[in-house]
């Protein structure tokens, strides 16, 4: 998985690891995280709910200092506050910088999607939230299909709430096999405003990353917009006309943000 090119890799101790296999998976955390970090990725672990095996998961993996702890089926500020307390206690015990472990609510129920803003407010450790797919569709009683139409309202609502909370929304994974489907969904997510997307298949990572990267033509146009605006301001104009469009402050801000994002994609990991 370290060779996939993903920016963050997740050790899933929840649904993807059967209970009898969890002790061995926990014991592998230190070596696994070191391998991922050597490949340039952040190390994340998805634990079980704290009322289940979550406390045991945390006790085993926190000595290895995961960068992020993902919490499944997160639904309330109470969930996040409780998780923060548990992690802070273990950070102190193991001599880790307090506050160094980020929290990632995984919003895979209707309640989780609706409450994401309150969860973001519950802890400064929450910088992103991840939208679920299969569990969310099940909770919605929706008919799951590769086109993802059944999740469209949730996808849009989740994005809106995350932006309002000033955290980064991470789009749901494309859980089908087709590479073209993963690409199409990532392009659609980018159009809505998503800049990050999860994946459950390593072969999808490169395609998703390429789809979320700024379009070269759009970046070139953004550079011309900024140039035209700066030149106009330099000669004292209060308005600048560019290709039939009067440039306004939000337009310039969007253009500068796109240019900066393109630069980050060009930088080595």
pLDDT digits (tens, 9 = 90+) for 122-166: 999 999 999 999 999 999 999 999 999 999 999 999 999 999 999
**Does one domain contain both 76 and 141?**
yes
**Confidence check: pLDDT of 265 > 60:** yes
Q: In terms of DSSP bridges, do strands 168-171 and 128-131 run parallel, antiparallel, or are they unpaired?
A: parallel
Q: 125 or 15, which is more confident?
A: 125
What is the structure's pLDDT at 168? 98
Q: How confident is the model at residue 53 (pLDDT cuts 50, 70, 90)?
A: very high
Please state, in angstroms and as integers, the Cα–Cα distance from residue 267 to each residue in 231, 232, 253, 261, 264, following that order.
28, 31, 21, 10, 5
Q: State the pTM of this model.
A: 0.89
Q: What's the CA gap between 77 and 122, in Å, rounded?
A: 5
**Does one domain contain both 222 and 124?**
no
What is the structure's pLDDT at 177? 95
**Does one domain contain both 38 and 164?**
yes
**Does one domain contain both 154 and 250?**
no
What is the structure's pLDDT at 269? 59
Q: What's the CA gap between 92 and 199, in Å, rounded?
A: 33
Mean of the pLDDT values across residues 175-185? Answer: 97
**Does one domain contain both 208 and 231?**
no
What is the structure's pLDDT at 183? 97
Which structure tokens are listed for 7?
């920016």
**Does one domain contain both 47 and 157?**
yes
Q: 235 or 164, which is more confident?
A: 164
**Does one domain contain both 208 and 253?**
no
Cβ(104)–Cβ(44) under 8 Å?
yes
Which is nearest to 15 in space by CA: 106, 101, 81, 76? 106
Mean of the pLDDT values across residues 206-212? Answer: 94
Q: How confident is the model at residue 90 (pLDDT cuts 50, 70, 90)?
A: very high
Mean of the pLDDT values across residues 35-61? Answer: 96
**Confidence check: pLDDT of 268 > 80:** no
**Confidence check: pLDDT of 1 > 70:** no
Residue 159: its H or E element: helix 152-164
**Confidence check: pLDDT of 229 > 80:** yes
Domain that holds residue 242: 216-266
**Does one domain contain both 181 and 49?**
yes
Cβ(41)–Cβ(2) under 8 Å?
yes
What is the structure's pLDDT at 233? 87
**Does one domain contain both 153 and 192?**
yes
**Does one domain contain both 83 and 113?**
yes
What is the structure's pLDDT at 239? 80
Domain count, the chain: 2
**Confidence check: pLDDT of 78 > 80:** yes
Per-chain mean pLDDT for the chain: 94
What is the structure's pLDDT at 249? 86
Mean of the pLDDT values across residues 4-25? Answer: 94
Q: How confident is the model at residue 35 (pLDDT cuts 50, 70, 90)?
A: very high
Q: How confident is the model at residue 237 (pLDDT cuts 50, 70, 90)?
A: confident
Q: What's the CA gap between 182 and 171, in Å, rounded?
A: 12
**Confidence check: pLDDT of 3 > 80:** no
């Amino acid at each position: 998985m370290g060779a996939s090119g993903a920016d963050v890799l997740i050790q899933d101790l929840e649904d993807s690891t059967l209970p009898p296999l969890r002790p061995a998976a926990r014991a592998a955390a230190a070596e696994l995280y070191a391998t991922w970090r050597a490949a340039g990725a952040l190390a994340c672990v998805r634990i079980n709910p704290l009322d289940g095996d979550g406390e045991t998961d945390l006790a085993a993996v926190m000595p290895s200092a995961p960068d992020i702890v993902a919490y499944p089926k997160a639904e309330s500020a109470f969930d996040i506050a409780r998780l923060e307390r548990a992690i802070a206690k273990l950070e102190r015990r193991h001599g880790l910088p307090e506050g160094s472990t980020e929290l990632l609510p995984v919003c895979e129920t209707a309640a989780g999607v609706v409450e994401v803003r309150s969860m973001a407010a519950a802890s400064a450790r929450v910088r992103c939230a991840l939208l679920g797919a299969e569990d969310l569709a099940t909770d919605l009683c929706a008919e799951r299909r590769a086109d993802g139409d059944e999740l469209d309202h949730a996808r849009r609502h989740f994005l809106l709430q995350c932006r309002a909370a000033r955290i980064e929304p991470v789009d749901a994974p494309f859980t089908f096999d087709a590479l073209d489907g993963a690409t199409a969904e990532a392009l659609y997510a980018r159009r809505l405003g998503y800049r990050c997307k999860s994946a459950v298949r390593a072969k999808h990572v490169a395609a998703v990353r390429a789809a979320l990267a700024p379009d070269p033509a759009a970046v070139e146009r953004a550079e011309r917009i900024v140039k035209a605006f700066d030149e106009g301001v330099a000669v004292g104009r209060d308005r600048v006309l560019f290709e039939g469009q009067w440039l306004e402050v939000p337009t310039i801000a969007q253009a500068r943000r796109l240019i900066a994002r393109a630069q980050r994609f060009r930088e080595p990991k």
